Amino acid sequence: MEVLKDQLDHEEHETEVYARKVRETKHSVVKLLYAKLMRDSMQHAEVLNSAIAYLITNQWGTPQASVNETHDELLRLMDMEEKALRLFTSLSAEVGDPHLKSLLAMLALDEEQHYAMLRYVLENFVDKKEVAKA
Ligand SMILES: [Fe+2]
């Protein structure tokens, strides 16, 4: 628990540091990367906050909170992410400019993660809920 709280402090500090760097940096590529790091740190802090609350209360969110999406809707979202993943992967392979290549490769990695997150939601919160209702 303490280690999570310490890391939460670090993530909140990082968020402030990257927010300042976004404001101060003129280089467009580096500015984009700092912005991404700022958002990721912010999101990591939110995840850690949820994890800490879970360890204290032994539950995720309120008991009545439910997931509204259907199995098919999740499959459609996963399909969008997969298409984006394929697009960025092939564009990254095609372009010659090294910076653009790296940025596109990073987007492809993000899309791969988005796909994995949706699969996690589908398997753990949507399909299980549909089984529970049946
Ligand atoms: Fe995505």
Instruction: Enumerate residues with CB within 5 Å of ligand 1 (an ion).
Output: 81, 111, 114
Predicted local distance difference test score (pLDDT) of residue 118? 97
Tokens representing 18?
């990257």
Å from CA of 108 to ligand 1 middle: 9
* CA 50 to ligand 1 centroid distance, Å: 22
- 19 Cα to the center of ligand 1, angstroms: 23
Average pLDDT over the chain, rounded to an integer = 93
- What is the whole-number distance in angstroms between the Cα of residue 60 and the centre of ligand 1? 25
pLDDT at 132: 63
pLDDT exceeds cutoff 90 at 133: no
Mean pLDDT of 47-70: 85
Cα(34)–Cα(98) distance, rounded to whole angstroms?
Answer: 18
* Interval between CA 36 and ligand 1 midpoint (Å): 14
Count CB-CB contacts under 10 A for residue 44.
17
State residue 50's pLDDT score: 93
Residue 78 has pLDDT above 70, yes or no: yes
Whole-angstrom distance, CA of residue 111 vs CA of residue 81: 6
Give the residue among 69, 90, 83 at the shortest CA–CA distance from 111.
Answer: 83
Distance 72 CA to ligand 1 centre (A): 17
pLDDT in tens, 2-55: 999 999 999 999 999 999 999 999 999 899 999 999 999 999 999 999 999 999
Question: What is the spatial distance between Cα 61 and Cα 78, in angstroms, rounded to a whole number?
Answer: 24
